[in-house]
Structure 1
Amino acid sequence: MQTLKLRSFVVSTALVLGSCMVLPSWADETSSDTKALNTQIAQSPMPHEASYDTKDLNEQLVMANLWVQASGEYKALAYQAFNLAKMQLDNYLAHHKGKKRVAVIVDADETILDNSAYESWLIGKNQSYSSKTWGQWMNAAQAKAIPGAVDFLQYAAEKGVGVFYITNRKESGREGTMKNLRELGFPQVTNSHVLLRSTTSNKEPRRLEVEKHYDVALLMGDNLNDFSKDFKTKTLKQTYAAVEKDKHLFGTKFIMLPNPTYGDWEGKVYNNNWGASAAEKDKMRKAHLHAWHPKGE
Protein backbone atom coordinates (compact mmCIF):
# COMPACT_ATOMS: atom_id res chain seq x y z
CA MET A 1 0.00 0.00 0.00
CA GLN A 2 1.11 3.44 -0.46
CA THR A 3 0.98 4.86 2.97
CA LEU A 4 -0.95 7.97 3.92
CA LYS A 5 2.34 9.82 3.71
CA LEU A 6 2.33 9.65 -0.07
CA ARG A 7 -0.81 11.77 -0.23
CA SER A 8 0.80 15.20 -0.31
CA PHE A 9 -2.30 17.37 -0.23
CA VAL A 10 -0.25 20.55 -0.13
CA VAL A 11 -2.60 23.15 -1.46
CA SER A 12 0.02 25.87 -1.10
CA THR A 13 1.68 24.42 -4.21
CA ALA A 14 -1.56 24.36 -6.16
CA LEU A 15 -1.38 24.71 -9.91
CA VAL A 16 -4.53 26.33 -11.18
CA LEU A 17 -5.99 24.28 -13.97
CA GLY A 18 -8.39 26.99 -15.11
CA SER A 19 -10.89 26.07 -17.73
CA CYS A 20 -8.94 23.14 -19.16
CA MET A 21 -6.35 20.61 -18.05
CA VAL A 22 -2.82 20.26 -19.40
CA LEU A 23 -1.92 16.60 -19.71
CA PRO A 24 1.45 15.42 -18.41
CA SER A 25 3.97 14.29 -21.04
CA TRP A 26 3.27 10.62 -20.46
CA ALA A 27 -0.46 10.87 -21.13
CA ASP A 28 -1.95 9.56 -24.35
CA GLU A 29 -3.18 12.85 -25.77
CA THR A 30 -4.67 11.15 -28.80
CA SER A 31 -6.85 8.85 -26.71
CA SER A 32 -10.56 9.46 -27.19
CA ASP A 33 -11.12 8.49 -23.53
CA THR A 34 -8.61 11.11 -22.38
CA LYS A 35 -10.12 13.80 -24.59
CA ALA A 36 -13.62 13.00 -23.36
CA LEU A 37 -12.50 13.14 -19.74
CA ASN A 38 -10.77 16.48 -20.20
CA THR A 39 -13.86 17.87 -21.89
CA GLN A 40 -16.00 16.66 -18.98
CA ILE A 41 -13.64 18.24 -16.44
CA ALA A 42 -13.55 21.53 -18.33
CA GLN A 43 -17.35 21.68 -18.59
CA SER A 44 -18.19 20.61 -15.04
CA PRO A 45 -19.00 23.39 -12.58
CA MET A 46 -16.09 24.54 -10.41
CA PRO A 47 -16.75 25.56 -6.81
CA HIS A 48 -15.52 29.09 -6.29
CA GLU A 49 -11.81 28.95 -5.38
CA ALA A 50 -12.17 31.41 -2.52
CA SER A 51 -15.05 29.60 -0.86
CA TYR A 52 -14.20 25.90 -1.44
CA ASP A 53 -11.36 24.76 0.79
CA THR A 54 -9.82 21.62 2.26
CA LYS A 55 -12.45 21.53 4.99
CA ASP A 56 -15.11 21.20 2.28
CA LEU A 57 -13.13 18.50 0.48
CA ASN A 58 -12.65 16.58 3.74
CA GLU A 59 -16.42 16.16 3.99
CA GLN A 60 -16.02 13.57 1.25
CA LEU A 61 -14.21 11.37 3.79
CA VAL A 62 -17.37 10.92 5.86
CA MET A 63 -19.02 8.02 4.02
CA ALA A 64 -15.81 6.10 3.38
CA ASN A 65 -14.70 6.28 7.02
CA LEU A 66 -18.21 5.63 8.27
CA TRP A 67 -18.32 2.46 6.18
CA VAL A 68 -14.95 1.28 7.54
CA GLN A 69 -15.86 1.99 11.16
CA ALA A 70 -19.58 1.19 11.28
CA SER A 71 -20.50 -1.38 8.66
CA GLY A 72 -20.56 -5.10 9.21
CA GLU A 73 -19.79 -5.44 5.51
CA TYR A 74 -16.30 -3.99 5.95
CA LYS A 75 -15.54 -6.41 8.77
CA ALA A 76 -16.93 -9.29 6.72
CA LEU A 77 -14.67 -8.43 3.77
CA ALA A 78 -11.65 -8.27 6.08
CA TYR A 79 -12.43 -11.67 7.59
CA GLN A 80 -13.04 -13.02 4.09
CA ALA A 81 -9.58 -11.83 2.99
CA PHE A 82 -7.79 -13.43 5.94
CA ASN A 83 -9.83 -16.65 5.73
CA LEU A 84 -8.84 -16.90 2.07
CA ALA A 85 -5.23 -16.17 3.00
CA LYS A 86 -5.25 -19.03 5.50
CA MET A 87 -6.64 -21.47 2.93
CA GLN A 88 -4.09 -20.39 0.33
CA LEU A 89 -1.23 -20.61 2.83
CA ASP A 90 -2.27 -24.13 3.88
CA ASN A 91 -2.39 -25.15 0.23
CA TYR A 92 1.01 -23.63 -0.44
CA LEU A 93 2.60 -25.36 2.57
CA ALA A 94 1.08 -28.71 1.57
CA HIS A 95 2.76 -28.55 -1.83
CA HIS A 96 5.94 -26.66 -0.99
CA LYS A 97 9.08 -28.54 -1.97
CA GLY A 98 11.61 -25.73 -1.93
CA LYS A 99 14.63 -25.56 0.34
CA LYS A 100 13.91 -22.06 1.58
CA ARG A 101 11.58 -21.23 4.44
CA VAL A 102 8.13 -19.99 3.49
CA ALA A 103 7.12 -16.39 4.18
CA VAL A 104 4.14 -14.10 3.86
CA ILE A 105 4.49 -10.38 3.17
CA VAL A 106 1.90 -7.92 4.42
CA ASP A 107 1.51 -4.19 4.14
CA ALA A 108 0.71 -2.32 7.37
CA ASP A 109 -1.68 0.59 6.87
CA GLU A 110 -5.22 -0.46 5.93
CA THR A 111 -4.02 -4.06 5.53
CA ILE A 112 -3.39 -5.03 9.14
CA LEU A 113 -3.60 -1.60 10.83
CA ASP A 114 -6.76 0.52 10.76
CA ASN A 115 -5.94 4.23 10.51
CA SER A 116 -9.51 5.42 9.96
CA ALA A 117 -9.35 7.34 13.26
CA TYR A 118 -6.65 9.58 11.78
CA GLU A 119 -8.66 10.05 8.58
CA SER A 120 -11.80 10.83 10.59
CA TRP A 121 -9.88 13.42 12.62
CA LEU A 122 -9.38 15.42 9.41
CA ILE A 123 -13.14 15.81 8.92
CA GLY A 124 -14.29 19.28 9.91
CA LYS A 125 -10.76 20.69 9.69
CA ASN A 126 -9.30 22.93 7.03
CA GLN A 127 -6.18 20.81 6.76
CA SER A 128 -5.15 17.66 4.97
CA TYR A 129 -2.67 14.92 5.68
CA SER A 130 0.71 16.20 6.86
CA SER A 131 3.89 14.43 7.90
CA LYS A 132 3.70 16.27 11.24
CA THR A 133 0.25 15.04 12.27
CA TRP A 134 0.86 11.60 10.75
CA GLY A 135 4.03 11.34 12.81
CA GLN A 136 2.04 12.17 15.94
CA TRP A 137 -0.48 9.48 15.00
CA MET A 138 2.23 6.85 14.50
CA ASN A 139 3.93 7.73 17.77
CA ALA A 140 0.60 7.46 19.60
CA ALA A 141 0.49 3.77 18.53
CA GLN A 142 -3.30 3.76 18.65
CA ALA A 143 -4.20 2.14 15.33
CA LYS A 144 -6.52 -0.83 15.72
CA ALA A 145 -5.99 -4.21 14.10
CA ILE A 146 -7.93 -5.00 10.94
CA PRO A 147 -10.41 -7.81 11.76
CA GLY A 148 -8.78 -11.21 11.23
CA ALA A 149 -5.23 -9.86 10.79
CA VAL A 150 -3.73 -10.87 14.13
CA ASP A 151 -5.25 -14.37 14.07
CA PHE A 152 -3.99 -15.05 10.56
CA LEU A 153 -0.44 -13.89 11.15
CA GLN A 154 -0.22 -15.72 14.45
CA TYR A 155 -1.42 -18.84 12.63
CA ALA A 156 1.26 -18.36 9.96
CA ALA A 157 3.97 -17.92 12.59
CA GLU A 158 2.84 -21.07 14.41
CA LYS A 159 3.28 -22.95 11.12
CA GLY A 160 6.90 -21.82 10.98
CA VAL A 161 6.23 -19.20 8.32
CA GLY A 162 8.23 -15.96 8.27
CA VAL A 163 6.08 -12.84 8.61
CA PHE A 164 7.38 -9.65 6.97
CA TYR A 165 5.80 -6.23 7.28
CA ILE A 166 6.71 -4.08 4.27
CA THR A 167 5.30 -0.62 4.82
CA ASN A 168 5.93 2.87 3.48
CA ARG A 169 5.92 4.35 6.94
CA LYS A 170 9.26 6.12 7.34
CA GLU A 171 12.04 5.07 9.71
CA SER A 172 11.13 7.99 11.96
CA GLY A 173 7.96 6.10 12.81
CA ARG A 174 9.63 2.77 13.60
CA GLU A 175 9.34 2.95 17.39
CA GLY A 176 5.65 3.83 17.40
CA THR A 177 4.86 1.36 14.62
CA MET A 178 6.56 -1.56 16.32
CA LYS A 179 4.97 -0.66 19.66
CA ASN A 180 1.56 -0.61 18.01
CA LEU A 181 2.10 -3.97 16.29
CA ARG A 182 3.41 -5.65 19.44
CA GLU A 183 0.62 -4.35 21.67
CA LEU A 184 -1.96 -5.70 19.20
CA GLY A 185 -0.35 -9.15 19.32
CA PHE A 186 1.26 -9.36 15.88
CA PRO A 187 4.12 -11.89 15.66
CA GLN A 188 7.77 -11.49 14.64
CA VAL A 189 7.82 -7.73 15.17
CA THR A 190 11.57 -7.25 14.91
CA ASN A 191 13.76 -4.78 13.04
CA SER A 192 14.61 -7.41 10.43
CA HIS A 193 10.94 -8.22 9.80
CA VAL A 194 9.50 -4.69 9.83
CA LEU A 195 10.81 -3.15 6.61
CA LEU A 196 10.01 0.55 6.53
CA ARG A 197 10.64 3.07 3.78
CA SER A 198 14.14 4.51 3.62
CA THR A 199 15.20 5.90 0.24
CA THR A 200 12.24 4.97 -1.95
CA SER A 201 8.52 4.27 -1.72
CA ASN A 202 8.98 1.48 -4.27
CA LYS A 203 8.53 -1.76 -2.32
CA GLU A 204 10.06 -4.00 -4.97
CA PRO A 205 13.64 -3.87 -3.58
CA ARG A 206 12.38 -4.86 -0.13
CA ARG A 207 10.30 -7.69 -1.56
CA LEU A 208 13.31 -8.96 -3.50
CA GLU A 209 15.41 -8.87 -0.34
CA VAL A 210 12.91 -11.16 1.41
CA GLU A 211 12.83 -13.46 -1.63
CA LYS A 212 16.58 -14.03 -1.36
CA HIS A 213 16.01 -16.10 1.75
CA TYR A 214 12.34 -17.15 1.61
CA ASP A 215 9.76 -18.56 -0.77
CA VAL A 216 6.91 -16.06 -0.58
CA ALA A 217 3.54 -17.79 -0.41
CA LEU A 218 1.34 -14.69 -0.21
CA LEU A 219 1.36 -10.93 -0.40
CA MET A 220 -1.41 -8.93 1.25
CA GLY A 221 -2.18 -5.25 0.78
CA ASP A 222 -4.76 -2.55 0.15
CA ASN A 223 -2.82 -0.91 -2.68
CA LEU A 224 -1.77 -2.55 -5.94
CA ASN A 225 1.81 -1.41 -5.39
CA ASP A 226 1.91 -3.75 -2.39
CA PHE A 227 2.06 -6.69 -4.79
CA SER A 228 4.25 -6.14 -7.82
CA LYS A 229 6.23 -3.63 -9.86
CA ASP A 230 3.69 -4.35 -12.60
CA PHE A 231 1.41 -1.84 -10.85
CA LYS A 232 3.89 1.07 -10.84
CA THR A 233 1.79 2.84 -13.46
CA LYS A 234 1.15 6.51 -14.22
CA THR A 235 -2.44 6.43 -15.44
CA LEU A 236 -5.65 4.70 -14.49
CA LYS A 237 -5.81 3.13 -17.95
CA GLN A 238 -2.37 1.57 -17.44
CA THR A 239 -3.45 0.33 -14.02
CA TYR A 240 -6.53 -1.37 -15.45
CA ALA A 241 -4.35 -3.14 -18.03
CA ALA A 242 -1.94 -4.32 -15.32
CA VAL A 243 -4.80 -5.70 -13.25
CA GLU A 244 -6.11 -7.61 -16.28
CA LYS A 245 -2.64 -9.01 -16.93
CA ASP A 246 -2.28 -10.33 -13.37
CA LYS A 247 -5.93 -11.13 -12.65
CA HIS A 248 -5.16 -14.82 -12.08
CA LEU A 249 -3.01 -13.89 -9.05
CA PHE A 250 -5.76 -12.14 -7.08
CA GLY A 251 -7.16 -14.52 -4.51
CA THR A 252 -4.26 -16.92 -5.07
CA LYS A 253 -0.95 -15.14 -4.40
CA PHE A 254 -2.26 -11.58 -4.03
CA ILE A 255 -4.89 -10.93 -1.34
CA MET A 256 -6.47 -7.47 -1.49
CA LEU A 257 -7.98 -5.63 1.50
CA PRO A 258 -10.66 -2.94 0.98
CA ASN A 259 -9.63 0.70 1.43
CA PRO A 260 -12.09 3.34 0.18
CA THR A 261 -10.36 6.29 1.88
CA TYR A 262 -7.07 6.86 0.00
CA GLY A 263 -4.48 5.26 -2.20
CA ASP A 264 -2.19 5.52 -5.21
CA TRP A 265 -5.28 5.48 -7.45
CA GLU A 266 -6.33 8.88 -6.12
CA GLY A 267 -3.24 10.58 -7.53
CA LYS A 268 -4.05 9.18 -10.95
CA VAL A 269 -7.49 10.76 -10.72
CA TYR A 270 -5.61 14.08 -10.38
CA ASN A 271 -3.20 13.25 -13.25
CA ASN A 272 -0.62 13.03 -10.46
CA ASN A 273 -1.05 16.70 -9.61
CA TRP A 274 -1.28 16.27 -5.84
CA GLY A 275 -0.74 20.00 -5.45
CA ALA A 276 -4.10 20.84 -7.06
CA SER A 277 -6.42 23.00 -4.96
CA ALA A 278 -9.32 21.54 -3.03
CA ALA A 279 -11.74 22.91 -5.62
CA GLU A 280 -9.74 21.36 -8.48
CA LYS A 281 -9.59 17.99 -6.73
CA ASP A 282 -13.34 18.07 -6.16
CA LYS A 283 -13.87 18.79 -9.85
CA MET A 284 -11.51 16.02 -11.01
CA ARG A 285 -13.04 13.46 -8.65
CA LYS A 286 -16.55 14.17 -9.91
CA ALA A 287 -15.43 14.17 -13.54
CA HIS A 288 -14.37 10.51 -13.14
CA LEU A 289 -17.83 9.44 -11.97
CA HIS A 290 -20.11 7.69 -14.44
CA ALA A 291 -23.56 9.07 -13.74
CA TRP A 292 -26.98 7.99 -14.98
CA HIS A 293 -29.17 10.72 -16.43
CA PRO A 294 -32.95 10.29 -16.56
CA LYS A 295 -34.55 10.70 -19.95
CA GLY A 296 -35.07 14.35 -20.77
CA GLU A 297 -32.54 15.65 -18.24
Structure 2
Amino acid sequence: MPRSSLPPILLSLALTGGLAACAQQPAQPPAPRASLADELVMATVWMQSSGEYAALSHQAFNLARMNLDRALAAPDSQTQRPPAIIVDVDETVLDNSPYEAWLIASDENYASDSWHQWVEKASAAPMPGAKPFLDYAASRGVEIFYVTNRRDNETEATLRNLRQVGFPDADGEHFLPRTDSSDKTARRLRVAQSHWIVLLMGDNLGDFSQGFDRESAAARRAAVNAQADAFGSRYIMLPNPAYGAWEEAIYGGDWGVSDEEKSRARRNHLEAWGGPTH
Protein backbone atom coordinates (compact mmCIF):
# COMPACT_ATOMS: atom_id res chain seq x y z
CA MET A 1 0.00 0.00 0.00
CA PRO A 2 1.51 3.39 -0.97
CA ARG A 3 2.13 5.61 2.09
CA SER A 4 1.64 8.85 0.09
CA SER A 5 1.09 9.94 -3.45
CA LEU A 6 3.11 13.18 -2.90
CA PRO A 7 6.65 13.51 -4.32
CA PRO A 8 9.33 13.17 -1.61
CA ILE A 9 10.21 16.88 -1.55
CA LEU A 10 6.56 17.93 -1.19
CA LEU A 11 5.96 15.25 1.41
CA SER A 12 8.89 16.54 3.45
CA LEU A 13 7.60 20.11 3.29
CA ALA A 14 4.12 19.01 4.22
CA LEU A 15 5.36 17.08 7.23
CA THR A 16 7.57 19.96 8.37
CA GLY A 17 4.71 22.46 8.11
CA GLY A 18 2.35 20.09 9.88
CA LEU A 19 4.72 19.60 12.78
CA ALA A 20 5.23 23.35 13.10
CA ALA A 21 1.49 23.91 13.12
CA CYS A 22 1.09 21.28 15.84
CA ALA A 23 3.79 22.93 17.90
CA GLN A 24 1.91 26.24 17.70
CA GLN A 25 -1.41 24.76 18.90
CA PRO A 26 -2.23 25.85 22.46
CA ALA A 27 -2.31 23.12 25.07
CA GLN A 28 -5.78 21.77 25.74
CA PRO A 29 -7.17 23.07 29.05
CA PRO A 30 -7.87 20.46 31.72
CA ALA A 31 -11.43 19.24 32.04
CA PRO A 32 -13.40 21.52 34.39
CA ARG A 33 -13.76 20.14 37.89
CA ALA A 34 -17.18 19.20 39.16
CA SER A 35 -18.76 22.16 40.93
CA LEU A 36 -20.89 20.79 43.74
CA ALA A 37 -21.75 24.38 44.66
CA ASP A 38 -23.38 24.85 41.25
CA GLU A 39 -25.41 21.70 41.82
CA LEU A 40 -26.92 23.35 44.93
CA VAL A 41 -28.55 26.14 42.93
CA MET A 42 -31.94 24.58 42.18
CA ALA A 43 -32.42 23.23 45.69
CA THR A 44 -31.44 26.50 47.35
CA VAL A 45 -33.42 28.83 45.10
CA TRP A 46 -36.47 26.59 45.62
CA MET A 47 -36.04 26.79 49.38
CA GLN A 48 -35.60 30.56 49.35
CA SER A 49 -38.13 31.65 46.75
CA SER A 50 -40.89 29.12 46.20
CA GLY A 51 -44.28 29.32 47.82
CA GLU A 52 -44.33 25.54 47.66
CA TYR A 53 -41.44 25.24 50.12
CA ALA A 54 -43.14 27.61 52.54
CA ALA A 55 -46.39 25.69 52.08
CA LEU A 56 -44.74 22.38 52.97
CA SER A 57 -43.21 23.90 56.08
CA HIS A 58 -46.54 25.38 57.20
CA GLN A 59 -48.20 22.06 56.41
CA ALA A 60 -45.75 20.19 58.64
CA PHE A 61 -46.37 22.50 61.60
CA ASN A 62 -50.14 22.51 61.06
CA LEU A 63 -50.09 18.72 61.05
CA ALA A 64 -47.95 18.73 64.19
CA ARG A 65 -50.50 20.96 65.92
CA MET A 66 -53.39 18.66 65.02
CA ASN A 67 -51.51 15.60 66.25
CA LEU A 68 -50.49 17.39 69.43
CA ASP A 69 -54.11 18.32 70.18
CA ARG A 70 -55.22 14.75 69.51
CA ALA A 71 -52.56 13.30 71.80
CA LEU A 72 -53.28 15.72 74.64
CA ALA A 73 -57.01 15.01 74.38
CA ALA A 74 -56.55 11.24 74.66
CA PRO A 75 -58.09 9.75 77.84
CA ASP A 76 -54.78 8.41 79.13
CA SER A 77 -52.79 11.60 78.50
CA GLN A 78 -53.28 12.85 82.06
CA THR A 79 -51.52 9.79 83.47
CA GLN A 80 -48.43 10.29 81.32
CA ARG A 81 -45.24 12.07 82.30
CA PRO A 82 -45.04 15.78 81.38
CA PRO A 83 -45.51 16.14 77.61
CA ALA A 84 -42.63 17.19 75.38
CA ILE A 85 -41.77 17.67 71.74
CA ILE A 86 -38.31 16.98 70.32
CA VAL A 87 -37.29 19.14 67.39
CA ASP A 88 -34.15 19.24 65.32
CA VAL A 89 -32.76 22.75 64.73
CA ASP A 90 -31.32 23.14 61.23
CA GLU A 91 -33.91 23.17 58.43
CA THR A 92 -36.51 22.14 61.00
CA VAL A 93 -36.99 25.28 63.10
CA LEU A 94 -34.14 27.46 61.74
CA ASP A 95 -33.52 28.25 58.06
CA ASN A 96 -29.85 28.08 57.04
CA SER A 97 -30.37 28.56 53.31
CA PRO A 98 -28.31 31.80 53.33
CA TYR A 99 -25.28 29.65 54.18
CA GLU A 100 -26.06 27.38 51.22
CA ALA A 101 -26.42 30.46 48.99
CA TRP A 102 -23.01 31.67 50.18
CA LEU A 103 -21.48 28.32 49.23
CA ILE A 104 -22.88 28.75 45.73
CA ALA A 105 -21.72 32.37 45.35
CA SER A 106 -18.25 31.49 46.64
CA ASP A 107 -17.97 28.18 44.73
CA GLU A 108 -17.23 26.48 48.03
CA ASN A 109 -18.24 23.18 49.58
CA TYR A 110 -19.44 22.80 53.15
CA ALA A 111 -16.61 23.20 55.66
CA SER A 112 -16.81 23.12 59.44
CA ASP A 113 -14.98 26.46 59.74
CA SER A 114 -17.31 28.45 57.47
CA TRP A 115 -20.33 26.72 59.01
CA HIS A 116 -19.14 27.65 62.50
CA GLN A 117 -18.80 31.28 61.44
CA TRP A 118 -22.37 31.22 60.10
CA VAL A 119 -23.64 29.73 63.36
CA GLU A 120 -21.80 32.40 65.37
CA LYS A 121 -23.70 35.12 63.51
CA ALA A 122 -26.92 33.77 65.11
CA SER A 123 -28.92 35.23 62.23
CA ALA A 124 -30.89 32.24 60.94
CA ALA A 125 -34.60 32.99 60.51
CA PRO A 126 -37.39 30.71 61.71
CA MET A 127 -38.77 28.13 59.34
CA PRO A 128 -42.23 29.11 58.08
CA GLY A 129 -44.77 28.14 60.74
CA ALA A 130 -42.18 27.16 63.36
CA LYS A 131 -42.69 29.97 65.87
CA PRO A 132 -46.52 29.89 65.93
CA PHE A 133 -46.43 26.13 66.48
CA LEU A 134 -43.79 26.16 69.20
CA ASP A 135 -45.57 29.02 70.97
CA TYR A 136 -48.81 27.07 70.79
CA ALA A 137 -47.19 23.92 72.16
CA ALA A 138 -45.70 25.90 75.06
CA SER A 139 -49.14 27.43 75.77
CA ARG A 140 -50.48 23.89 76.17
CA GLY A 141 -47.83 23.08 78.77
CA VAL A 142 -45.65 21.10 76.36
CA GLU A 143 -41.89 21.48 76.74
CA ILE A 144 -39.68 21.87 73.67
CA PHE A 145 -36.35 20.04 73.51
CA TYR A 146 -33.90 21.03 70.79
CA VAL A 147 -31.89 17.92 69.90
CA THR A 148 -29.34 19.01 67.32
CA ASN A 149 -26.09 17.88 65.77
CA ARG A 150 -24.65 21.33 66.10
CA ARG A 151 -21.52 20.94 68.22
CA ASP A 152 -21.51 21.71 71.93
CA ASN A 153 -19.11 24.61 71.31
CA GLU A 154 -21.91 26.20 69.27
CA THR A 155 -24.40 26.07 72.14
CA GLU A 156 -24.12 29.72 73.17
CA ALA A 157 -24.52 31.08 69.62
CA THR A 158 -27.40 28.74 68.84
CA LEU A 159 -29.29 29.60 72.02
CA ARG A 160 -28.75 33.27 71.21
CA ASN A 161 -30.29 32.67 67.78
CA LEU A 162 -33.23 30.72 69.23
CA ARG A 163 -33.90 33.49 71.75
CA GLN A 164 -33.63 36.23 69.15
CA VAL A 165 -36.41 34.68 67.09
CA GLY A 166 -38.49 34.20 70.24
CA PHE A 167 -38.61 30.43 70.53
CA PRO A 168 -39.76 28.99 73.88
CA ASP A 169 -37.51 26.87 76.13
CA ALA A 170 -34.35 28.29 74.55
CA ASP A 171 -32.12 27.42 77.49
CA GLY A 172 -29.41 25.00 78.48
CA GLU A 173 -31.84 22.52 80.02
CA HIS A 174 -33.74 22.07 76.77
CA PHE A 175 -30.81 22.24 74.34
CA LEU A 176 -29.02 18.95 73.60
CA PRO A 177 -26.14 19.41 71.13
CA ARG A 178 -23.76 16.84 69.70
CA THR A 179 -20.88 16.07 72.03
CA ASP A 180 -19.39 12.94 70.44
CA SER A 181 -21.64 10.84 68.21
CA SER A 182 -24.09 12.20 65.66
CA ASP A 183 -26.47 9.42 66.75
CA LYS A 184 -29.27 11.17 68.65
CA THR A 185 -30.61 8.04 70.33
CA ALA A 186 -29.00 8.64 73.74
CA ARG A 187 -30.19 12.23 73.82
CA ARG A 188 -33.73 11.25 72.94
CA LEU A 189 -33.68 8.61 75.66
CA ARG A 190 -32.50 11.22 78.14
CA VAL A 191 -35.61 13.26 77.42
CA ALA A 192 -37.83 10.17 77.52
CA GLN A 193 -36.67 9.32 81.06
CA SER A 194 -38.53 12.32 82.44
CA HIS A 195 -41.05 13.26 79.72
CA TRP A 196 -43.69 11.81 77.48
CA ILE A 197 -42.43 12.50 73.95
CA VAL A 198 -45.53 13.35 71.96
CA LEU A 199 -43.89 14.25 68.63
CA LEU A 200 -40.51 14.33 66.94
CA MET A 201 -39.82 16.82 64.15
CA GLY A 202 -36.86 16.89 61.77
CA ASP A 203 -35.58 17.07 58.22
CA ASN A 204 -33.43 13.95 58.42
CA LEU A 205 -34.43 10.37 59.17
CA GLY A 206 -31.89 10.20 61.99
CA ASP A 207 -33.98 12.84 63.78
CA PHE A 208 -36.55 10.11 64.43
CA SER A 209 -34.66 6.84 64.78
CA GLN A 210 -31.14 5.69 64.08
CA GLY A 211 -32.72 2.59 62.60
CA PHE A 212 -33.39 4.54 59.42
CA ASP A 213 -29.70 5.23 58.83
CA ARG A 214 -28.81 2.43 56.45
CA GLU A 215 -25.81 2.11 54.14
CA SER A 216 -27.65 2.61 50.85
CA ALA A 217 -30.32 4.96 49.59
CA ALA A 218 -32.52 1.99 48.67
CA ALA A 219 -32.26 0.53 52.18
CA ARG A 220 -33.17 3.89 53.73
CA ARG A 221 -36.25 4.15 51.57
CA ALA A 222 -37.26 0.58 52.40
CA ALA A 223 -36.95 1.35 56.11
CA VAL A 224 -39.25 4.36 55.67
CA ASN A 225 -41.81 2.31 53.76
CA ALA A 226 -41.79 -0.26 56.56
CA GLN A 227 -42.88 2.45 59.04
CA ALA A 228 -45.05 4.53 56.72
CA ASP A 229 -47.79 5.03 59.33
CA ALA A 230 -45.40 6.83 61.70
CA PHE A 231 -44.86 9.73 59.30
CA GLY A 232 -47.47 12.42 59.70
CA SER A 233 -48.43 11.07 63.12
CA ARG A 234 -45.54 10.65 65.59
CA TYR A 235 -42.86 11.72 63.10
CA ILE A 236 -43.22 15.06 61.29
CA MET A 237 -40.78 15.54 58.41
CA LEU A 238 -39.64 18.90 57.03
CA PRO A 239 -38.36 19.19 53.42
CA ASN A 240 -34.63 19.62 52.82
CA PRO A 241 -33.30 18.98 49.29
CA ALA A 242 -29.95 20.72 49.95
CA TYR A 243 -28.12 18.28 52.24
CA GLY A 244 -28.54 15.42 54.68
CA ALA A 245 -27.73 11.80 55.42
CA TRP A 246 -29.58 10.85 52.24
CA GLU A 247 -26.66 12.40 50.33
CA GLU A 248 -24.06 10.43 52.29
CA ALA A 249 -25.93 7.23 51.41
CA ILE A 250 -25.51 7.79 47.68
CA TYR A 251 -21.75 8.15 48.24
CA GLY A 252 -21.66 4.73 49.87
CA GLY A 253 -21.34 6.31 53.30
CA ASP A 254 -18.07 8.05 52.42
CA TRP A 255 -18.12 11.87 52.56
CA GLY A 256 -14.42 11.83 51.66
CA VAL A 257 -14.79 10.92 47.99
CA SER A 258 -13.79 13.58 45.47
CA ASP A 259 -16.17 16.15 44.05
CA GLU A 260 -16.04 14.36 40.70
CA GLU A 261 -17.03 11.07 42.37
CA LYS A 262 -19.83 12.79 44.27
CA SER A 263 -21.21 14.35 41.11
CA ARG A 264 -21.00 10.99 39.33
CA ALA A 265 -22.75 9.20 42.21
CA ARG A 266 -25.59 11.73 42.13
CA ARG A 267 -26.15 11.10 38.44
CA ASN A 268 -25.83 7.35 38.84
CA HIS A 269 -28.75 7.41 41.30
CA LEU A 270 -31.07 8.98 38.75
CA GLU A 271 -33.67 6.65 37.28
CA ALA A 272 -34.15 7.93 33.76
CA TRP A 273 -36.86 7.36 31.21
CA GLY A 274 -35.62 5.50 28.13
CA GLY A 275 -36.56 8.38 25.84
CA PRO A 276 -38.93 8.71 22.89
CA THR A 277 -39.09 6.05 20.22
CA HIS A 278 -38.97 7.01 16.55
TM > 0.5 fold call: yes
Deviation digits for residues 92-137 of structure 1, max 9, x if unmatched? Answer: 0001133310000000000001000001101143421111111100
Does the Cα contact within 8 Å between 2:38 and 2:107 map onto a contact in 1?
Answer: no
* 1:212-252 C-alpha deviation (Å, 9 max, x unpaired): 00111100000000001221211122212210221110000
Query: Contact 2:201–2:237 at 8 Å: present in 1 too?
Result: yes
- Structure 1 residue 59 and structure 2 residue 38: aligned? yes
Identity %: 47
Which amino acid in the other structure matches residue 43 of structure 2?
Answer: A
Matches within 5 A, 1:23-42: none
TM-score (norm 1): 0.81
Shift of 1:273: 2.1
Structural RMSD (CA): 1.6
Given candidates 72, 90, 109, the residue that maps to 1:128 is 109
Show structure 1 runs of 5+ residues with no match: 1-48
- Could you tell me whether the CA contact under 8 Å between 2:56 and 2:239 is conserved in 1? yes
Find the counterpart in structure 1 of residue 201 from structure 2. 220
Q: In structure 1, which of residues 74, 89, 98 is the aligned counterpart of residue 53 of structure 2? A: 74
Q: 1:59 is paired with a residue of what secondary structure?
A: helix
Q: Name the counterpart of 1:87.
A: 66
Which of 103, 108, 129 matches 2:84?
A: 103
Matches of 2:155 and 2:129 in 1, distance apart?
23
In the alignment, what sits opposite 2:12?
none
Match of 1:268 in 2: 249
TM-score (norm 2): 0.86
CA distance in 2, matches of 1:288, 1:242: 18
The answer for unaligned runs of 5 or more in structure 2 is 1-28
Aligned residues: 249
Task: Quote how far apart the aligned CAs of 1:139 are.
Answer: 0.4
Among candidates 259, 281, 287, match of residue 268 of structure 2: 287
**1:186 partnered with 2:199:** no
What is aligned with 1:248?
229
| Paired amino acid for 1:69 | Q
**Alignment CA distance shift 1:50-1:112 (3 Å):** farther
User: 1:141-160 counterparts in 2 under 5 A?
Assistant: 141-160=122-141
User: Could you list the per-position Cα deviations for residues 154-173 of structure 1 after superposition, in whole angstroms to 9, with x for gaps in the alignment?
Assistant: 11011110100000000111
Q: Please state how far the C-alpha of 1:292 moved relative to its aligned partner.
A: 1.7
Structure 1 residues 50 and 255, CA gap change in structure 2 (3 angstroms): farther
In 2, are the aligned partners of 1:169 and 1:197 still within 8 Å (CA)? yes
SS at match of 1:220: strand
Q: Which of these two proteins has the greater Rg computed from alpha carbons?
A: 2
Distance in 2, matches of 1:53 and 1:141, equals 33
Distance 2:222 2:264 in 1: 25
Deviation digits for residues 149-188 of structure 1, max 9, x if unmatched? 0110111011110100000000111111001000001001
- What is the distance in 1 between the residues matched to 2:256 and 2:105? 21
| Distance in 2 separating the partners of 1:241 and 1:289 | 17
* Counterpart-to-counterpart distance in 1, 2:32 and 2:267: 15
Match of 2:24 in 1: none
One-letter amino acid matched to 1:209: R
- AA aligned opposite 1:104: I
Shift of the alpha carbon at 1:281?
Answer: 1.1
Say if 1:183 and 1:282 are closer, same or farther in 2 by CA, change over 3 A: same
Amino acid at match of 2:209: S
